[in-house]
Amino acid sequence: MKDLKLTALADRGKTIVKTGKVEIGKGLVIIAGPCSVENERQLMETTQKVKEAGADILRGGVFKPRTSPYAFQGLGLKGLKLLEKAGREFDMPVVTEVLDTRDVSWVCEYVDMLQIGARNMQNFSLLKEAGKANKPVLLKRGMHSTLHEWLNCAEYILHEGNPDVVLCERGIRTFETYTRNTLDLSAIPSCQELTHLPVLVDPSHGTGRKSLIEPMCLASAAAGADGIVVEVHIRPEEALSDKEQSLTPGEFAAIVKKVRRLQEFL
């Protein structure tokens, strides 16, 4: 990986990415919220619960890259306005996924952090546009991507002048079918050896199974992750997307307690 300029910057120390009042790279940051913003009541109730449980940053999808064109695609601008309202009301920074270069500038008006999802990891035009934005970027690993490919995509953002990049391991596609993806926890120490960027883990997409999210959150923390990203819905059985992997507020609260307790011993 000698062609990666970011490896040469590792000697300067770890990058701390600030979004709102939250500093990613210091301690364990918890990002939580619904897969999709569906309506105001759903979002406000979920936000209140994750805030009370100890989440630091609110996540919510308003543009949904779905496998089927007939699946729920998100609320778009209406959803952004709801996210902004929820973040302001509960004093939480907000992160959402952006899909199109044409949307980057105006999405930045409503949220504190941009997410580039797994399907867009190698959308180089989008990476460049995010690199020009004055917002931190959460870059998820592509489902078929090596570490080298993932880090080079981060390099695209850095190269455009945006130093605030956060990596997120969310599982890769393998021959295993029991889980939605295969969560590569070795990516945490590997990326920390190779870069100065914070590394988060998304056990929700990484496993796709509610029963596995708690142990993978604990394993991520034990492996040295800078944070976790989990999907929480006030009523998961009614969720318009990813209901199988969405936690109830009570399940999320229990995980937060265990993860925070584990952090005391690390």
Question: 176-183 — which CB contacts under 8 Å span 24+ positions?
Answer: 179/206, 179/207, 179/208, 179/209, 179/212, 180/205, 180/206, 180/207, 180/208, 180/209, 180/245, 181/143, 181/205, 181/206, 181/207, 181/208, 182/206, 183/207, 183/216
- The helix/strand/coil state of 2 is coil
Tell me the pTM: 0.93
Assigned token pair, 251: 């399940």
CATH code of 5-263, in short, is: 3.20.20.70
Amino acid letter for position 173:
R
Domain coordinates of the chain in residue numbers? 5-263
In degrees, to the nearest 5, what angle opens at C-alpha 59 toward C-alphas 202 and 147? 35
**Mean pLDDT, range 17-21, rounded to an integer:** 95
- The helix/strand/coil state of 188 is helix
**CA-based nearest residue to 234, from 95, 86, 94, 113:** 86
Question: End-to-end CA distance of the chain, in Å?
Answer: 30
pLDDT digits (tens, 9 = 90+) for 180-223: 999 999 999 999 999 999 999 999 999 999 999 999 999 999 99
| pLDDT for residue 133 | 95
Q: How far is CA 13 from CA 2, 55, 73, 192, 232, in A?
A: 18, 26, 40, 11, 33
| pLDDT for residue 266 | 81
Of the candidate ranges 10-19, 106-115, 158-167, the one whose mean pLDDT is the lowest: 10-19
d(CA 19, CA 137): 10
